[in-house]
């Protein structure tokens, strides 16, 4: 079977790769065997007209199928019109075995036409077949047989090609969904790395500055700060590995403890308060991201000397006493990524100047998380 792309004359998407092609439909021309046999034994007269008609019919049918599968709409329909004229004309003139070519015409209609056109053709063609066979003196049995054969041939072919078109469309949709899932996972991963490394590198920079300042004045304290840098680096390595596998270990309490240490190293006095029932695991993970992003912004941008982290159930508020106005967040990628992450869980993020001065970040999660 030749796997040529099937017809899509109305802009439909490609069909399934294993859809029937040109080679599957050309053998239908053997429906002319009845007309050939009666032409050979002299039942159809004049014989030359029947032979000429058979040659024209075969050429037009082949041209119709080939043009249809090449998506050449106008040539395909012109060839179909010529095929219909030959079949109807010689069936009226010669009758007999030429009636068997009406189902072939139905097949050609099913291949070439789409949408409303194929419905009209498959409905009207049996009536035309019945009129021609009846005018030629055919019995009721032959009228019904040829009409039903014409109708069923066109309908079956049209349905088969339509189903393959739908299968092809579903395959394309599945591929697009898979690509979208990959893109979403890449976005999630980049967002996670931004939050993880942004926070960790900020802490490392602050502590490295402390080591530089303390190296001569207080070697013991400098050594402790260097040990903290090593611990933060190891923790970052662990978190990156966990992000690659799609999960992070450690609870919100650990995240708050790291935030206190990071703020203290940056010279920011932190007050942390927790009230209400402890959040569920998923909520803890999401609120951990909020703590990390908020503390990173304070260390990087705020110029604050005091910060407050208030966790009340599923609402987390981070405030500082830095300059009024929104904090820069590298084009907003940090807070935007945070809002997207919480938004997927039905939560929300609000950030802006606090009425009492400084900057405030508030994250809220729904009870269902």
Q: What is the mean pLDDT of residues 279-286?
A: 84
Res 219: pLDDT:
80
* pLDDT, tens digit, 9 for 90 and up, residues 2-42: 344 444 444 333 445 566 778 888 888 888 888 888 888 88
Which has more pLDDT, 305 or 216? 305
With cut-offs at 50, 70 and 90, classify the pLDDT of residue 281: confident
pLDDT at 148: 92
Give me 266's structure tokens.
Answer: 């940056």
In 174-289, at which residue ranges do the beta strands (DSSP E only) sit? 269-275
Check pLDDT > 50 for residue 258. yes
Instruction: Specify whether the CB–CB gap between 118 and 154 falls below 8 A.
Output: yes
The Cα 83–Cα 125 span in angstroms is 13
Mean pLDDT of 231-260: 70
Question: What is the pLDDT confidence band of residue 329, given thresholds at 50, 70 and 90?
Answer: very low
Does the structure show a pLDDT above 90 at 318? yes
pLDDT (average), residues 55-68:
91
Which letter does DSSP use for residue 15 in this model? Answer: -
pLDDT tops 60 at residue 249: no
> What pLDDT shows up at residue 242?
64
Instruction: Please report the pLDDT score of residue 4 as a whole number.
Output: 41
Query: Which pLDDT value is given to residue 325?
Result: 46
Question: The tokens 């967002």 sit on which residue?
Answer: 191
Distance in angstroms (rounded) separating the CA atoms of residues 27 and 183: 46
Residue 231 has pLDDT above 90, yes or no: no
Average pLDDT over residues 322-332: 52
Please indicate whether residue 15 or residue 107 has the higher confidence score (pLDDT): 107
pLDDT band at 70 (very low <50, low <70, confident <90, very high): confident
Residue 288 vs residue 233, higher pLDDT: 288
Please state whether the predicted TM-score (pTM) of the whole model is above 0.75: no
Residue 331, pLDDT score: 42
1 pLDDT band (50/70/90 cuts)? very low
Q: Is the pLDDT of residue 317 over 90?
A: yes
Q: Tell me the pLDDT band of 333, cut-offs 50, 70 and 90.
A: low
| pLDDT exceeds 80 at position 140 | yes
Positive or negative, the Cα torsion across 241, 236, 253, 256?
A: negative
Q: In terms of pLDDT, which residue wins out, 118 or 191?
A: 118
Check the CA dihedral 198-200-205-206 and report its sign.
Answer: positive
The torsion angle over the Cα atoms of residues 81, 84, 89 and 90, rounded to 10 degrees, is 130
Does residue 241 have a pLDDT over 70? no
Each residue's pLDDT tens digit, 166-219: 888 888 887 787 677 667 766 766 777 776 677 677 777 787 887 787 777 888
Q: Is the pLDDT of residue 150 over 50?
A: yes
Decide: 282 and 345 in contact? Cβ < 8 Å: yes
Q: In order of start, what are the domains of the chain with their CATH numbers?
A: 22-176 (no CATH), 250-369 (3.30.565.10)
Out of 96-105, 194-203, 291-300, pick the least confident: 194-203
CA distance 143 to 123: 15
């Amino acid at each position: 079977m030749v796997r040529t792309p099937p017809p899509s004359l109305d802009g439909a998407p490609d069909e399934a790769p294993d859809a029937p092609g040109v080679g599957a439909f050309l053998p239908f021309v053997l429906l002319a065997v009845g007309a050939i046999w009666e032409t050979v034994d002299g039942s159809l007269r004049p014989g030359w007209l029947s032979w000429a008609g058979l040659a024209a019919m075969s050429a037009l049918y082949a041209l119709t199928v080939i043009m249809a599968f090449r998506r050449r709409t106008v040539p395909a329909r012109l060839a179909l019109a010529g095929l219909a004229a030959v079949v109807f004309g010689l069936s009226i003139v010669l009758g007999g075995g030429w009636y068997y070519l009406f189902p072939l015409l139905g097949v050609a209609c099913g291949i070439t036409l789409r949408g409303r056109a194929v419905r009209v053709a498959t409905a009207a063609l049996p009536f035309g077949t019945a009129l021609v066979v009846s005018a030629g003196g055919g019995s009721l049995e032959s009228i019904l047989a040829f009409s039903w054969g014409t109708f069923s041939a066109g309908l079956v072919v049209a349905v088969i090609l339509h189903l393959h078109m739908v299968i092809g469309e579903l395959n394309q949709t599945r591929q697009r969904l898979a690509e979208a899932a990959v893109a979403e996972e890449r976005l999630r991963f980049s967002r996670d790395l931004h939050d993880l490394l942004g926070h960790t590198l900020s802490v490392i920079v602050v502590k490295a500055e402390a080591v530089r300042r303390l190296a001569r004045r207080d070697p013991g304290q400098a050594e402790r700060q260097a040990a903290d840098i090593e611990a933060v680096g190891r923790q970052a390595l662990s978190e990156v590995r966990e992000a690659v596998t799609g999960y992070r270990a450690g609870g919100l309490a650990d995240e708050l403890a790291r935030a206190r240490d990071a703020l203290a190293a940056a010279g920011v006095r932190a007050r942390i308060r927790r009230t209400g029932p402890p959040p569920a695991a998923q909520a803890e993970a999401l609120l951990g991201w909020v703590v990390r992003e908020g503390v990173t912004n304070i260390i990087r941008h705020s110029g604050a000397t005091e910060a407050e982290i208030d966790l009340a159930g599923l609402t987390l508020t981070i405030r500082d006493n830095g300059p009024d106005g929104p904090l820069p967040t590298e084009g907003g990628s940090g807070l935007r990524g945070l809002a997207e992450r919480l938004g997927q869980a039905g939560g929300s993020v609000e950030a802006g100047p606090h009425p009492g001065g400084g900057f405030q970040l508030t994250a809220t999660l729904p009870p269902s998380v």
